[in-house]
Amino acid sequence: MTDLSTLSHTVRPLSGGGKVLVLDTGAVIGPEAEAMLQALHSRSVGGISNHLQVLAEKGAEKFMSTFYVGYGHKSIGDCGSATIFIEGISLLAAKAIQDWPLYSGQESSTRYIDFSQQPFIDPVGTPASVEFLARWRALYLDGLSLMQEELTRRFPRAPEEKEGIYRKAIAARAFDTMRSFLPAGAATNIAWHGNLRQFADKLMVLRHHPLGEVQEIAAAVDAALAEQFPSSFCIERFQSTETFNHDFMQSNYYFNPSSWPVFEVTADHIDHTLLREYSTTLRSRPQKTELPKQIAECGTMEFRFLLDFGSFRDLQRHRAVTQRMPLLTTRFGFHPWYLGEFPRELRERALALLHSQEIALPSLGATPEIAQYYIPIGYQTANRLTGPLPALLYIAELRSTRFVHPTLRERARQMASTLQDRFAADGLVLHLDQDADRFDVRRGEHDIVRREAAAA
């Protein structure tokens, strides 16, 4: 058994009961010292052994204080990394942290985890808001049971299918459907891995986020990182930069158009003449192989479409494209796929609840930003996505498989069709999963579990 008792993780509590933890891996050479060794290596030809000797003699803290000051290059922070665990935060806060091209990490999955016991974050904090959230939870709880019964009836287990895998697949499909009634204030956990420079850059904007919850998380992460890595995070702030970031985040961060197309290509800036220089590459690309990044020089395309916030959370994971963060509202309606999955009795109850909750929402007195905490992630949002051909092709192929959530798969297949129509003459070949949407018991294998649990 590994002895972890000597590790000193840096922890900061959050007011809602969650926490921020910066992981201490126990490394003899920590991230800051590792970064500084690389910086020193760039300033001499004597070799790394000399720098390691200085580190051994002075110790990490003295080594950093002696050598770190004076370099002033942000790239030094690229050379050391850390992992942070943030627990008990809303789905909205998780998306804010992940809204970053350089984000690496994981989040609790609404497709594989029962969220029935997760707290619902309630920034309004009145009896009316508590009752409002309780009504969503009641439908989620009842719906999980009813949907598992319905799915078992619709998709009976085949003799060759293992009982345990089949049950997990049924549960996953039920979670797929009932997640639509989880409010965006449902609590989740995320892991965030990055280099020290990336953390500092992202925190510069997070601390000005429109949501107070995100501002608190940013402050806690910043304080924890400053304690763990004082040479990298106890740095001067410039008021002009802070003001600039504050003004943008408060006025332009959330994307909230009054109307939006179901699906539309609104800009195509791909240079076909330049693209044809890559025609041999486009034609010869094997399955499960990405296009070379150099093809991005041919230009970008912009797509606009409606997508439920639950599936937007999956799409947002693609960092090679630019996406606006949509404001979650009830304006564009609840995605019909979810309602179509329900048995009749549950569908009628869901429709009635959606109607009554939409009427009651303004009475909570919340701003549009805070109202998001009370809106289920099955509601559709306005999405604007811009990217180069390699990134768009990757999304279209990966997200059009039958294991992807059906609402996102629909948009990915529309993107794929667009790419095929516009660029087949230039040599583009797409490798798509052509199977129709169907229940596949292999969904039960798409999980991360302890070995002994998996054998049950």
Q: Where are the domains of the chain?
A: 10-107+186-252
State the greatest distance between any 2 C-alpha atoms of the chain, in Å, as a whole number.
76
Residues composing the chain: 456
- pTM for this structure? 0.86
Query: pLDDT at position 75, please?
Result: 63
Coil vs helix vs strand at 325: strand
Q: In the beta sheet, which residues pair with residue 190?
A: 86, 107
Query: pLDDT at position 235, please?
Result: 73
Consecutive 10-residue runs of the chain (456 residues): their mean pLDDT?
Answer: 76 91 80 72 70 73 57 61 91 96 85 77 97 96 91 86 84 89 95 89 96 97 89 81 96 97 98 97 96 97 98 94 97 96 94 98 98 98 98 96 92 97 97 71 48 43
- Integer-rounded Cα Rg, in Å, for the chain is 25
C-alpha–C-alpha distance, residues 414 and 44, integer Å:
54
Query: pLDDT at position 414, please?
Result: 97
Query: pLDDT at position 456, please?
Result: 44
Query: pLDDT at position 60, please?
Result: 64
Determine the number of helices (DSSP H) and then strands (DSSP E) in the chain.
19, 11
C-alpha–C-alpha distance, residues 76 and 32, integer Å:
9
> Do the Cβ atoms of 283 and 276 come closer than 8 Å?
no
C-alpha–C-alpha distance, residues 418 and 50, integer Å:
58
Q: Name the amino acid, one letter, at 220.
A: A
Query: pLDDT at position 345, please?
Result: 93
> Do the Cβ atoms of 147 and 342 come closer than 8 Å?
yes
Q: How far is CA 350 from CA 147, 187, 238, 341, 381, in A?
A: 13, 22, 50, 12, 19
Query: pLDDT at position 7, please?
Result: 81
Phi, psi at residue 323, to the nearest 5°?
A: -130, 140
C-alpha–C-alpha distance, residues 94 and 383, integer Å:
18
Query: Residue 125, by phi and psi: left (phi above 0), alpha (psi -120 to 50) or beta?
Result: left
Q: How far is CA 23 from CA 27, 166, 246, 383, 452, in A?
A: 11, 36, 29, 35, 26
* DSSP output for 84-112: EEEEEEEHHHHHHHH-STT-EEEE--TTT
C-alpha–C-alpha distance, residues 132 and 138, integer Å:
10
CA 379 remoteness from chain centre: 17
Q: How far is CA 443 from CA 143, 387, 397, in A?
A: 20, 30, 18
Neighbours of 1 (CB within 10 A): 3
Coil vs helix vs strand at 421: helix
C-alpha–C-alpha distance, residues 314 and 115, integer Å:
17
Coil vs helix vs strand at 117: coil
Neighbours of 250 (CB within 10 A): 13
> Do the Cβ atoms of 265 and 420 come closer than 8 Å?
no
C-alpha–C-alpha distance, residues 419 and 45, integer Å:
50
Per-residue tokens: 411: 């948009």
Assigned architecture for domain 10-107+186-252: 2-Layer Sandwich (3.30)
Residue 448 CB-density burial (10 A; 0-12 exposed, 13-18 middle, 19+ buried): exposed
Per-residue tokens: 405: 């959530």
